[in-house]
Structure 1
Amino acid sequence: MTEELLYTPKELDRDATFYVAGHRGLVGSAIVRRLEAAGFANIVGKSSSEMDLKDRDAVFQLFGEVKPTYVVLAAAKVGGILANSTYPVDFLSDNVRIQVNVLDAARESDVERLLFLGSSCIYPKFAEQPIREDSLLTGALEPTNDAYAIAKIAGILHVQAVRRQYGLPWISAMPTNLYGPNDNFSRSGSHVLPALIRRYDEAVATGATSVTNWGTGSPRREFLHADDMADACLHLLEHYDGPQQVNVGSGTDVTIREIAETIASLVGYEGETNWDTTKPDGIAQKLLDVSKLAEAGWKSKIDLREGLERTVAWYREHVSELRV
């Protein structure tokens, strides 16, 4: 079979088995919520304590038993600048193994439709803004997360190779910076937005009069609520087919300083905010071109401030259960 054999996207069978790898994470849990709301009756997920996706034999056994028709690969080892800079081997090795195992098992099981989730960090550090899909592999990566980016690029190419060699209509989506319920709010491993929520909320709780954030606050970032991302995933599975990855974002960006000010306001923090300019900023701007997604008929619905309000409320309700 070859990629020239055309596939026409259509509504997915609500009674078919749907496996969500990483179903308890930020994106995976949102995808499960979206699938349940859409009426899918047989959603399968395994927690990391039940299934180590780095264990190839265990992954193949799972696919042999479950025999899913559809798969979303949302499982990944993720982290912010500090974690990516400190543990590049872990981010490269763990993610490549997870991807290879799941994608190989899905191919052997003839999974009809699969969506691989990557990251916007796959694009070159100095890519033209907003970043188009065809910017992939046209320049050097941002050094602070290049190992993670290489792993995700490998996943995109793996999906493309499956399309060419086996003719399976698998696709890839590249989300912008995501946030929402079930995010990682740990002090050492979180991304910028959950880290800011925790930092400012703790400052309110302890009566602190100053908060110090990394960098200058000037980098511009695009943010998308996980529930929007989940909605986009189902939409792409039912409306898009093609070898090129699809950017998923809101199409707008804000500075880190603006995000910090908004979060401080939402949690009720009235103290001083300082910026440690000895710490890295990362890429100056990262905004995705989402025209391909718009052509497929989807755009984001959750306003940033509304999404942040919901996320702060969720964090405060679950803070006692979160990783430190």
Structure 2
Amino acid sequence: MDTPSKILVTGARGMVGSALVRRLGASASVQVLAPTRAELDLLDQRAVFAYLAEHRPDYVFIAAAKVGGIQANNQYRADFLYQNLLIEANLIHGAHLAGVQRLMFLGSSCIYPRDCPQPIKEEYLLTGPLEPTNEPYAIAKIAGIKLCESYNRQYGRQYVSVMPTNLYGPNDNYDLANSHVLPALLRKAHDARLRGDATYTVWGSGRPMREFLYVDDLADACVHLMEAGYDGPLVNIGTGEDVTIRELAETVMNVVGFQGDIVFDASKPDGTPRKLLDVSRLRSLGWAASTQLRAGIRQAYEAAPFYARRADNEVVLNTTLEPT
């Protein structure tokens, strides 16, 4: 990226946005704009257009979104579709009106068909039905990709879309009602250990396979693509490796120190059977993930709001976390 630069990061208080702010903040020549929700309501078109017109950033990273796990996606289908469509449309069109040439839209690997071949190549987009449990969210993200492509084609913009795999790390959501699988497992295993439970429950059969990327690796990949001047088609961002949910749960147990057994609740949905991204395009552009899963889970656990240690190094429950 050209320096000095003014860079807008939306969703900067979330897991992805805060990782981007950390990564961009390492450069003294970069001015990072990171408005809070109170400072800028991304659902308010007039406010978004006015903010972009006033600040005229050189680069925009769209990391803001309404997100959640399987239960939240199923229960709040209209909210996920409507709010995500508004956020991305306001920001992409507002950036165009403000003369922003470079923008990056962060999507989700759920944009790909439920049963597409593995590993998932970028060209598999729109080749089959979506996973029903998160279809509204996926449709909103696909619309964002197509918005970027359309502004590039019609107006000559350089609006790039990237598709991260499942993410985890600092500032993740640990609310058991709507969190994703890895933070939910961390919270469950932590609480089960502190209570002295003999078991902890994992949704589904444990057989689905998932890929996980530490969020600071994602931020590094995004900045790498921007700095390289990439302006081609959408790019998958992942590790290229996956594990079963059972293997993930066992790794979480080991990191947390829970000595009990896993109980799988087969009445709960598994979601997509397997979701592994083909990251050959990203690797051809000179980037690969560096954080190993176990090490990343350890870092995420120690950054979690419920994690604390006494002087004797014993993990204790941080009671300042609001109950879920």
TM-score by length of 2: 0.94
Letter in 1 for 2:174: F
2:49: which partner in 1?
60
Match for residue 157 of structure 1 among 138, 146, 163: 146
Change (3 A) 1:29 1:322: farther
What's the Cα RMSD here? 1.3
Letter in 2 for 1:98: I
Q: Percent identity?
A: 49
Distance apart, 1:244 and its partner CA: 1.7
Alignment-derived partner of residue 14 in structure 2: 25
Counterpart of 2:256 in structure 1 is: 267
* Superposition map of 1:1-324 within 5 A: 12-315=1-304, 316-317=307-308, 320-321=320-321, 324=324
| CA separation of 1:302 and 1:247: change in aligned 2, threshold 3 A | same
Q: Secondary structure at the match of 2:320?
A: helix
Cα distance between partner residues in 1 of 2:71 and 2:170: 22
- Distance in 2 between residues matched to 1:224 and 1:284, nearest whole Å: 18
Deviation at 1:39, TM superposition (A): 3.4
State the alpha-carbon separation in 1 of the partners of residues 99 and 189 from structure 2. 48
Q: Which amino acid aligns with 1:206?
A: R
| Counterparts of 2:255 and 2:29, CA distance in 1 | 35
Q: Quick one: distance in 2 between partners of 1:322 and 1:158?
A: 38
How many Å separate the matches in 1 of 2:9 and 2:52? 12
TM-score normalised by length of structure 1: 0.94
Runs of 4 or more above 6 Å deviation: none
> Following TM superposition, by how much is the alpha carbon of 1:212 offset from its aligned partner in structure 2, in angstroms?
1.1
CA contact (8 A) 1:30 1:230 kept: yes
Return the structure number with greater relative CO, CA threshold 8 A, min gap 6: 1
Residues 48 and 322 of structure 1: is their aligned pair in 2 closer, same or farther, counting only changes over 3 Å?
farther
Question: Which residue of 2 is the match for residue 5 of structure 1?
Answer: none
Number of equivalent positions: 313
User: Cα deviation per residue 1:157-191 (whole Å; 9 max; x = unaligned)?
Assistant: 00000000110111010000000000111111100
